Amino acid sequence: MRIGTQRRLWLLGRVVLAGILIGSAYGVLLNVAAYGTPNFGILIGAMHGFLLSLTIGAMEIFGTRSRPGQSVEQARVWSHCSSRGFSMDH
Query: Against a cut of 0.85, is the pTM above it?
Result: no
User: Does residue 83 or residue 62 have the better pLDDT?
Assistant: 62
Confidence at residue 77, expressed as pLDDT on a 0 to 100 scale? 67
Closest to 55 in 3D by CA, of 24, 12, 87: 12
Across 10-23, average pLDDT = 96
How confident is the model over 60-76, as pLDDT tens digits?
888 877 777 777 677 66
CA distance 53 to 27: 15
pLDDT tens for each residue of 17-51: 999 999 999 999 999 999 888 888 899 999 999 99
